[in-house]
Structures are given as C-alpha cells and as structure tokens.
Structure 1
Amino acid sequence: MKARFIVTVIICFLLLPISVIANETSPVDRLDQLSDEALQMVKLHRYEDAKKLLDYFSEQFVSVTGKEISFTADELRILTISHDEAVQATANATMNHDEKINRVTKFRLVMDAITSPYQPLWTEMESPIMTVFSEVKEAAYTGDKQQFHSTLNSFLSLYDMIYPSIKINVDREQIQRLDAKIDFIDKYRPQVLTESASQMELEALEADLQLLFDEMTEDEADPSLWWVIISTGSIIILTLSYVGWRKYKGDKEKEKSLSRRQKD
C-alpha cells in the first residue's frame, strides 16, 4: 500500500510540469489556433469573421516575429504567400465556397507544418490524394480521355493544397523529383494516355507519393517526450525496487526478532 502511494506521488510530481506547460499557450501555438479558427469560419460561410481573424493573425505575427518566434526565410516566404491568398479568398465575393475553403486550408496546413514537424496535418490528405491518383492511372490505362483529364485535374488541385506545407517538411531533392514527374504527366497528357512508356511515369510517381506519406507518418515521437517516458519509468522501477528491498529487510528483521523471542 505504501509502495503504491509513493509511486503515485512520484508520477504526479513528474507530470506536473508537463501539465503546467500544456496549459500555457505559446505565441506560435496561438497563431496556429488563429489559422484553425479562420478555417472554421470559412466552413460556416462566415467570411467576414474569417478575414478579421486572418487580419488579427497578421498583427500578432508581426508583433512576435523576431522577438519570441524565429522563422526561416523559406517558412516566412511560404507562410506570407499562403496567408495573402487566404485573405484574398475571404474578401473575394465572386469566389465560390469550395475555392475559399481550399485557399484557407492551404494556409492552415502551412501554419501547422511549421508548428508540428511530427506528423503534420497535411499527411491526413494521403487517402484522398492516393485514391484520386489511382483513378488517374485507371483512366490512363483504359484510354478514358475525359476521365483522365478530370481526375488528373482533381489530383493537381489536391496536391497544390498541400504543396506549400510539403516544402516546409520535406527536403528539396525529394520535392524536385516529385515536381519533375508531375510536370511531365501534366505537360504530356496525350502521350500518357496512349504510350506505355509514358505511363510508367504514373507508376513512378505513385511510388514517390506513397514514400512521401510513409516517411512523414512514421512513429516519430518528440525526443523530449521519450526522455520523460524513460525518466518516469526508470524512477518508478527504482522506487519499486527500493520499497521492495525495504519490505524484504523489514521481513528479515521480523524473522530475526521472532527467532530471538522463541529462543528466550
């Protein structure tokens, strides 16, 4: 009973700092929340509210950049471009709802890619992207021209949505390989529809896309989290060992005491 109490106290003590940190919202986390709130407003057709949130994001971004948050030049460029596109989308009365969502989603994914290097949100697009690409392949192999163009355009639209985020989390060489294959398939559509050699590019691109998602969705826990887990587990094991040793020593003392009484 005493051992269980000691272990509980130690666990609570170790997790206390983590809980305190979790309750404190950092400036960059707040910016991430604002990007998500703006997207939710767009989904609800509340475009004016979304624009206000995006404008507020810009104000907060300027106030903390260089002071509390450090971004790379590429991150700043990509984030600025996607933010501008999102603002323009919410202010454009003629743009359709789906396109507004796509633009603001792109910005939302970029912000998350910066703040969440481990399994960022854009990796959740794996299923729709790979499904549409499978339809592109099927249409190419069957020679269905209309379906091929339609599904390829859908794929390009989805890929464009996550492309800025990919540029943040993925190395440049891997992106260049993807770009080369996608550009070839898009530029030489007639050949991809009719030539088996060109259709091999579809297979190669599919493999590269799958590798991209597989690498990003591997179980890559934050190293600091592993340190906490290992430290906590080690302390618990040591505590249990110490308590067990104390109990063993106490039992031995009782046996010795009982033995002396019996002799007396």
Structure 2
Amino acid sequence: MKARLLIAIMIILLLPTIGFAEETTPIDRLEQLSDEALQMVKLHRYEDAKRLLDYFSEQISQSGKGRPLTADELRIITNSYDEAVQATANGTINHNEKINRVTKFRLVMDAITSPNQPLWTEMESPIMTVFGEVKEAVYSGDKEHFHSQLNTFLSLYDVIYPSMKINVDIEQIQRLDTRIHFIDSYRLQVLADEASQQELEALEADLQILFDQMSDDEADPSLWWVIISTGSIIILTLSYVGWRKYKGDREKSREKNRSRGQKN
C-alpha cells in the first residue's frame, strides 16, 4: 500500500512539469504562424501566405504574455517580417527568392523560441559545402566558378544572418562580417594573392567553430533540475519498494523458521 502511495505521489509531482512542457506560449504561436506562411509560399499560395503574415502582425502587437522581446529581437523580427511581406506581395520577385525571404523570417522566429537548437544550424552542410567550392575555385584559378560559388555562399549566409544575430555573440558576428566583407570586396585580390587567400582559411575555421559551438547542446538548467529531481524520485521509490519487499521476505522466512522450530 505504501509503495502504491509513493508511486501516486511521484505521478502527482510530475504532472505540473508535464503540463508546463505542453503549454503553448504567445511567442510559440507566432513561430507557428511563420512556419505556416513559409509552407504556403512553397506551395505558390502567396496570397494565403500574405494573409498569415498580416495575422502575425496583429497577433504580435497583442501578445503581452510570456517572455518580453528585447529591442534587438524586435528590430530583427520587424526587418525580416517586412522582407517576407514584400516577397509575398510583389509579383516580380521569383519563387526561389520568395522562399529565401520567408525562410529568413521563419528562422528568426525559431531562433527566438529555440535558442539551444535553432533551425538555422541545419544550414551548416550546404553553407560549408558551397564554401568548400569557393576555396577550390580559388586554388584552381577558376574565376567564373569562384564568383558564382561566392555569390551562392553569400545568399545562403544572408538567409541565416538575422537568426545568427539572435543566438550568437556580437563579437563573433563582427569577426565573420569583417572576413566576409574583405573576401567579397577584394575578389580579384583573393584570387591572385596567397596572403589574401588566408582569409578564406580563417573564415572557414570561424564558420566551423560557430556551427560546432551551436551543436554542443547544453540543456536548460531548469530541464536538468526536472531530470535530476524526477530521477531521484524514481530511484527513491524503487529503492523503497525493493527494501519493503526484502524486509517482507525476511519476515516470511523468520515465520517459517519459527513454525518449523515449534513443530520440532
């Protein structure tokens, strides 16, 4: 009976945690709207995407609950939102560019709601692959391929850049900006000068460090508290149940021994 009581107490203690994890906050709902808008753009349903973005604008102005957004976050959201709206409303922008702009907005909202494992880090493979093509073109002297691949790299980097500014230290962002600006501004020099080509190696190393540090998932301290406390409850419960069973078995064994002694 006591064992059942302890298990019941454990479940009761876990219920608030489970309920909290499932709660949807206003900012989570906004993030969902950004994802729905992106899905509409992928399906070429631009008017539906525009309506979702308009609804997003209404909701963000009314969402007073939850974690307040910082001034920098609001500025980044506003800029990426404006680009997304323009993409869905402007018929002269091609489909791929529409996807890029709305994806940028989608990644920004995710970076705010998922700081430990943001979606923009999933861009590591295409970005690093294209940058490898940039380096290869430089070392082989293929000017046309170099310009083409560098432009592709810059486009991909532009998609994740606003999200990076939410999750990454400003000093790290500025270091990347400096290297990228140099390579982009002095393309011919990078192609011809071995010393300038060292910037390519340095930028590749900085990018890899960036993605590696973001992939080192550190659980939220509150989550660790839940894991530890929950684990402790389970261990204590199982230990108590095992001890009660052991004590009961010993009592039964003693009773049997007493009964045998009395018969003899």
Return the alpha-carbon distance in structure 2 between the equivalents of residues 253 and 4 of structure 1. Answer: 18
Letter aligned with residue 41 of structure 2: V
Q: Contact 1:28 / 1:115 at 8 angstroms: preserved in 2?
A: yes
Q: Contact 1:181 / 1:205 at 8 angstroms: preserved in 2?
A: yes
Root-mean-square deviation (Å) = 1.9
Return the alpha-carbon distance in structure 2 between the equivalents of residues 243 and 69 of structure 1. Answer: 42
Q: TM-score, normalised by structure 1?
A: 0.93
Q: Contact 2:7 / 2:237 at 8 angstroms: preserved in 1?
A: no
Q: Contact 2:130 / 2:153 at 8 angstroms: preserved in 1?
A: yes
Query: 1:16 offset after TM fit, Å?
Result: 3.0
Letter aligned with residue 237 of structure 1: I
Query: 1:17 offset after TM fit, Å?
Result: 3.0
Aligned match of 2:132: 134
| Distance change (3 Å), C-alpha of 1:248 and 1:115 | same
Aligned match of 2:146: 148
Return the alpha-carbon distance in structure 2 between the equivalents of residues 68 and 242 of structure 1. Answer: 40
Query: 1:95 offset after TM fit, Å?
Result: 0.5
Describe the SS at the equivalent of 2:81: helix
Return the alpha-carbon distance in structure 2 between the equivalents of residues 3 and 141 of structure 1. Answer: 74
Q: Contact 2:120 / 2:160 at 8 angstroms: preserved in 1?
A: yes
Letter aligned with residue 32 of structure 1: E
| Distance change (3 Å), C-alpha of 1:148 and 1:78 | same
Q: Contact 2:130 / 2:152 at 8 angstroms: preserved in 1?
A: yes
What is the number of residues matched between the two proteins?
A: 262
Letter aligned with residue 16 of structure 2: P
| Distance change (3 Å), C-alpha of 1:68 and 1:232 | closer
Amino-acid identity (%): 74
Aligned match of 2:32: 33
Aligned match of 1:208: 206
Q: Contact 2:25 / 2:66 at 8 angstroms: preserved in 1?
A: no
Q: Does 1:62 align with 2:61?
A: yes
**Deviation string, structure 1 residues 141-171 (Cα, Å, up to 9, x no partner):** 0110000000000000000110011111101
Q: Does 1:107 align with 2:105?
A: yes
Q: Contact 1:122 / 1:162 at 8 angstroms: preserved in 2?
A: yes
Describe the SS at the equivalent of 2:69: coil
Letter aligned with residue 141 of structure 2: G
Query: 1:10 offset after TM fit, Å?
Result: 6.2
Q: Which 5+ residue runs of structure 1 have no aligned equivalent?
A: none
1:222 to 220, 232, 245: 220
Letter aligned with residue 213 of structure 2: E
